[in-house]
Amino acid sequence: MYLIRRFSGLIAAACALTFVMASGCGSEEAGVNLGGEGGAGGAGGSGGSGAGNPTGGSTDPAAAVFPDIASLHATGMARTCALNDGVCHSARQYPELGSVKDLVALVNAPCQVASNDPAHVPDECERPGDLLVLGDTEHEILRVLVDPKAPFPPVSVEVRLAGPAGPLDGVGARIRRLGDAGAETLSVPLDGATFAPGADASSVIVQLGSAPVELRRFLDVRSSDLDRVRVGDANGNGTAHASATPWALVTPGDPSRSYLYKRLINDAHGPKMPLLQRTWSALATRAVWCWIRGLPADATAATVSVSERIDYEDCPSDPDAPDPNATGTWSSVRTLMGSRCATAGCHNEAVKAGALDLSPNSLVFQQSVIGVPSVQQMGALRVVPGQPQASYLLCKVDPECDSRAPMTALMPITGNPLTEAEIKSISEWILNGAPLE
């Protein structure tokens, strides 16, 4: 047991968190590396400025955790959205987020062009479809319908066009794509395909039994990768690419038209992301908001540097986003754990330094932290819900605690100590019953 010091001069709501991006482990509870996922900001208040601050003096709560694009990817996206190869956005789902270069590649990249469920493609993301050229006519392809029971790849598809197909002349038939500047960027010959009238004048049945397998794959919209025909009304609601300026995954200077950001703050366009929070937090969401806002309108993936610092000074808050300054919540504590403790070689799932796993996961905390005896200080529990004074985890990060086991160090063992605001947030979380949701 120990007495928590009183934070008399601390105004939690006015403070911005300082997170020092340093790993640091010792033995057992030695590395209370708090940080990681979570919703609201890291444990509360400020501490962002001052000597040794990697943000160059910014007091924004997100600046110390995610000063640049590289740290946003490494600490936020890589450990949440692309944690394991072949899972989620690591060599599996669009968009690819396996590397920081993949994150930068989202600038002006089309959104939802490879959706597993076309009905989830918002009108704002739809772009002009490819053109079907038959004889002297060409029409935009609005939809390609494939029988769900058809083999992969299919031997027949129905193509719905923006206008009457006209004569079904297969000589020289092809599909072509125009870029934003109007120049042709793709031409796919329809060799071996035959054509028949569809359900109406704007519908064509394309028989592919004698066509090359590459063409059959190109027209198979059931597969979710970019090497497929592009359609103008992907969601099939009858409104083809309604926006004159379609959204991109990241629209430079405009988070409100950036599909990546929209998916982080609500479920209007599909399940809110990430599905599993892990190291994600309200601070990470703010970092994405400020990064996109700070991009020049003419930015491209080729002009954005992975080491580019995120501009927080001229970045207002987003009223629709979670509060990055919230304290005393599981979200704030989880954020601390992921960025300060559950880092490589420390208290993560793989290493469990000192037999302690502080991975920012509710199940892990339930099994390894809440009400679990400390192996370093006999008779103490790591976290006692409702009793900060009895929680050894808090003692390990509080320099004023005199109940640490002899010959053990204050945590985290490297980098700056936790700020008063961060310690207070952990204390408040425990006092509130150490909720895990």
| pLDDT tens-place string over residues 123-168 | 999 999 999 999 999 999 999 999 999 999 999 999 999 999 999 9
User: The tokens 């900001």 sit on which residue?
Assistant: 41
CA atoms of 31 and 28, how far apart (whole Å): 7
Where is the domain boundary, 321, 348, 377? 321
**Structure token pair of residue 343:** 């880092």
pLDDT tens across 293-320, in order? Answer: 999 999 999 999 999 999 999 999 999 9
Going by pLDDT thresholds of 50, 70 and 90, the confidence category of residue 118 is: confident
How many other β-carbons are positioned within 10 Å of the β-carbon of residue 410?
17
Is the pTM higher than 0.75?
Answer: no
CA atoms of 14 and 309, how far apart (whole Å): 24
Judge if 106 and 202 occupy the same domain.
no
Total domain count, the chain? 3
Collapsed DSSP state (helix, strand, coil) of residue 57: coil
Where is the domain boundary, 279, 300, 321? 321
Domain presence at residue 238: no
Judge if 58 and 39 occupy the same domain.
no
Collapsed DSSP state (helix, strand, coil) of residue 262: helix
Domain presence at residue 202: yes
Going by pLDDT thresholds of 50, 70 and 90, the confidence category of residue 359 is: confident
Judge if 316 and 336 occupy the same domain.
no
Query: What pLDDT shows up at residue 145?
Result: 95
Judge if 41 and 149 occupy the same domain.
no
CB 321 within 8 Å of CB 272: no
Collapsed DSSP state (helix, strand, coil) of residue 141: strand
Going by pLDDT thresholds of 50, 70 and 90, the confidence category of residue 225 is: low
CB 384 within 8 Å of CB 371: yes
CA angle 434, 33, 377 (to 5 degrees): 70
Query: What pLDDT shows up at residue 223?
Result: 75
Domain presence at residue 234: no
Judge if 333 and 434 occupy the same domain.
yes
Domain presence at residue 235: no
Choice between 434 and 31, residue whose per-residue pLDDT is larger: 434
Identity of residue 329: T
Choice between 188 and 228, residue whose per-residue pLDDT is larger: 188
CA angle 266, 272, 274 (to 5 degrees): 135
Judge if 176 and 141 occupy the same domain.
yes
For the chain, the first-to-last Cα distance in angstroms comes to 26
Where is the domain boundary, 321, 340, 359? 321
Query: What pLDDT shows up at residue 43?
Result: 31
CB 22 within 8 Å of CB 412: yes
Domain presence at residue 79: yes
Judge if 336 and 430 occupy the same domain.
yes
Judge if 331 and 437 occupy the same domain.
yes
Instruction: Supply the Cα-derived Rg of the chain in whole angstroms.
Output: 27
| Cβ neighbourhood burial of 3 (10 Å; 0-12, 13-18, 19+) | exposed
The boundaries of the domain holding residue 22 are: 1-45+325-437
Domain presence at residue 426: yes
Report the number of secondary-structure helices (H) and strands (E) in the chain.
9, 7
Domain presence at residue 262: yes
Judge if 253 and 107 occupy the same domain.
yes
Query: What pLDDT shows up at residue 96?
Result: 92
Judge if 20 and 35 occupy the same domain.
yes
Judge if 147 and 106 occupy the same domain.
no
CA atoms of 299 and 251, how far apart (whole Å): 9
Domain presence at residue 286: yes
Judge if 67 and 141 occupy the same domain.
no
Under 8 Å CB-to-CB from 214, ≥6 apart: which residues? none
CA atoms of 261 and 292, how far apart (whole Å): 9
